Amino acid sequence: MSTPALTTAPQAIDPTFENVWDEIVWRGLVHVSTDQEALRALLAGDPVTYYCGFDPTAPSLHLGHLVQLLLLRRLQLAGHKPLGLVGGSTGLIGDPRPTAERTLNTRETVAEWVDRLRGQVERYLSFEGDNAARMVNNLDWTAPLSAIDFLREIGKHYRVGTMLKKDAVAARLNSDAGISYTEFSYQILQGLDFLELYRQYDCVLQTGGSDQWGNLTSGTDLIHRVEGVSVHAIGTPLITNSDGTKFGKSEGNAIWIDAELTSPYAFYQFWLSTADADVIERLKVFTFLTKAEIEEYAELVATEPFRRAAQKRLALEVVATVHGIEATAAVIAASEALFGQGDLTTLDPATLRTALDELPHATVAAGTPVVDALVATGLVSSLSEARRAIAQGGVSLDGERVEDDSATVQGTLPGGVSVLRRGKKTLAGVFLG
């Protein structure tokens, strides 16, 4: 399959902003922070070292983490020096969730997930040049630390009353589940991370989600007490849809950035289905389009929403950032062909199959009558309904109209699959087995 010529926005800071701080504020990336004027001056000055941490509590990062990955990249593009931390030690503990205790994963599982997440984080940063990124693992400085040393050197700087006021801790204390000392200590471990990175790399800024604000300020407070200096933290907003629902959830499942867990096709369709009320904010947060370009899309949403130009650009930009331009071209071709705007026979077999996995589908034997396949895939409820739909000219197989009910499924598309269509938009996949 020839790759369509797709153009994406270059990864760059928008030059119309005086300061990268002004840009990230405009993009809605600052929900809470330490002193804003000090931060603005800090980011406008000489390069500084900053970090964001990712805990290996799953085998992949998800859309919530993508906000942090892109913020890391934006600050690096502005000349600052990123540290990507994957929490080999904090991943063994887990930060407190508001409702219940986490299940502790084995050391082997955590170590495996550390490697996987490290590889994911590295794809969003540059490791060349004067402000080359560096990856770190907090197990390197916590593993050699004895319990006595931890309590004497770090624990003595924390006040239990202050720790109890942290949102996640307070929520758990007021729940039936309570909170273990293990998870209660998490904020101390994260504070230790910031202190160690300050000492080793002169790191003066930590970023993270606003739901982690208590853990972020644990580090700023610890450094102030121990070293007598002020460092900074930025808490990004939790992204929600305009109707108040949680962003990035589909029937209870997270949208992962690992192609094995969420296929590039499903990833593309997720972004393509963004509501008009949400799409401009998504363009600000998840793409490198300039302010002027985003304002043009805002005008198109207002005047020609039926074109869904903003959604198409959003899907193109984010999928290309996460999965690369070739995978993006393949899923766009599959999406267009499935919905009648391209040739199904030219599609990449693997992409076509993952696309059909997202549709209603069934596995049948080669030579199965189309009427039976229509029932098996759920496009109709009975054989009589299937025959009636064919007689009315409303059924197609692999892009060709089915003329009579004696037609059979042969899996003629790339990869030995078939596509059934009833009407204009109701599709199903057929696998041969």
What superfamily in CATH does domain 29-236 come from? HUPs (3.40.50.620)
Task: Work out the number of other CB atoms within 10 angstroms of the CB of residue 278.
Answer: 18
Is there a contact between 268 and 332 (Cβ–Cβ < 8 Å)? yes
Alpha-carbon gap, residue 357 to 138, rounded angstroms? 39
Rounded (5°) CA angle 317-321-325: 80
- 3-state SS of 355-383? HHHCCCEEEECCCCEHHHHHHHHCCCCCH
Alpha-carbon gap, residue 245 to 268, rounded angstroms? 20
Walk along the chain (433 residues) and give the pLDDT tens digit of each residue.
344 478 999 999 999 999 999 999 999 999 999 999 999 999 999 999 999 999 999 999 999 999 999 999 999 999 999 999 999 999 999 888 877 888 899 999 999 999 999 999 999 999 999 999 999 999 999 999 999 999 999 999 999 988 888 888 888 888 878 899 899 999 999 999 999 999 999 999 999 999 999 999 999 999 999 999 999 999 999 988 888 887 776 556 789 999 999 999 999 999 999 999 999 999 999 999 999 999 999 999 999 999 999 999 999 999 999 999 999 999 999 999 998 788 999 999 999 999 999 899 999 999 999 999 999 999 999 999 999 999 999 999 999 999 988 999 999 999 999 999 998 889 999 999 8
Phi, psi (deg, nearest 5) at residue 85: -105, 125
Three-state secondary-structure class, residue 7: coil
The single residue listed with the structure tokens 């029932």 is 375
Alpha-carbon gap, residue 38 to 231, rounded angstroms? 10
Alpha-carbon gap, residue 310 to 280, rounded angstroms? 7
Three-state secondary-structure class, residue 60: coil
What are the Cα distances from residue 367, in Å, to 71, 188, 363, 381? 53, 64, 12, 21
Q: Which two tokens stand for residue 2?
A: 């020839």
Task: Say which DSSP state 426 is in.
Answer: E
Alpha-carbon gap, residue 60 to 147, rounded angstroms? 31
Rounded (5°) CA angle 67-72-78: 125
Domain locations in the chain as residue ranges: 29-236, 359-433
- Alpha helix segments (H runs only) across 324-426: 325-338, 349-357, 370-377, 383-391
Q: Rounded to two decimals, what is the model's pTM? A: 0.91
Identity of the residue numbered 220: T
Alpha-carbon gap, residue 380 to 369, rounded angstroms? 14
What are the Cα distances from residue 271, in Å, to 86, 108, 121, 253, 258? 27, 34, 21, 15, 16
Torsion of CA 71, 61, 271, 395, to 10 degrees: 170
Looking at the domain that runs over 359-433, which CATH code has it been given?
3.10.290.10
The single residue listed with the structure tokens 């990869």 is 415
Is there a contact between 361 and 431 (Cβ–Cβ < 8 Å)? yes
* Same topology between domain 29-236 and domain 359-433: no
Q: Which two tokens stand for residue 118?
A: 């490290």
Alpha-carbon gap, residue 217 to 167, rounded angstroms? 12
